[in-house]
Amino acid sequence: MIGILNRMLMLVRHATPAFGPDIPPERWPLAPAGLAAAESLRQALPPGALLVSSEEPKARQTLEPSGPVTTDSRFNEIARDEPYDGDFRARRLAYVTGTDHAGWEDRMAVAARFAAGITSWLAASGDRPLVIASHGMAMTVWLTAAVGLDDPGAFWSDLRLPDVFTVDVSGRRVARSA
């Protein structure tokens, strides 16, 4: 993580997807409102940034109006066996606050793959800012490990679609961008 010390790192939570029970969440594209929000997001991102997203369409499409996007599976949302209906918010909140669910990716594995992706892309970005589009649970798990979020559940619950954060790992700070 030495390379993160003096570099601009921004994390973006994807915009609003078009969703439904017939398509798995990892294949959801952006909804029309999400596409409009992605277009507006351009103003919040630094010009000339290296843009990387998870392999999921909703994350990639969130960055595409801002320039060419490279995808990396290390930024995908957590792997999970989750039914479409029911109280998904309660299950997800419990996960980010430390509850293990059968069939859900181990939080330490999520943090490790996310960190490996950040380290790799920071090295590739040179002097350019790095912007990564990902997903709420994966971001929260990594930020908890990397900067020690005081209340991961509150952070996750407060996430917007889309949302942008500047991360200072060495200073152990994360700040929402305006």
Reported as a single tens digit per residue, the pLDDT across 36-89 is 999 999 999 999 999 999 999 999 999 999 999 999 999 999 999 998 888 999
What amino acid is encoded at 97 in this protein?
Answer: T
* CA dist list (Å): 29 to 69, 85, 143: 15, 19, 25
Residue 4, pLDDT above cutoff 90: no
Give me the number of domains the chain comprises: 1
Which structural domain range is residue 118 located in? Answer: 2-176
What's the burial of 53, exposed, middle or buried (CB within 10 Å: 0-12/13-18/19+)?
Answer: buried
Residue 9, pLDDT above cutoff 90: yes
Look up residue 174 and give its two tokens: 């994360």
What ranges make up the beta strands (E) of the chain?
9-13, 50-53, 69-71, 130-134, 163-168, 173-176
CATH of the domain at 90: 3.40.50.1240
- Tell me the Cα Rg of the chain: 15
Partnered with residue 163 across adjacent β-strands are 13
What amino acid is encoded at 55 in this protein?
Answer: E
pTM over 0.85: yes
Residue 2, pLDDT above cutoff 60: no
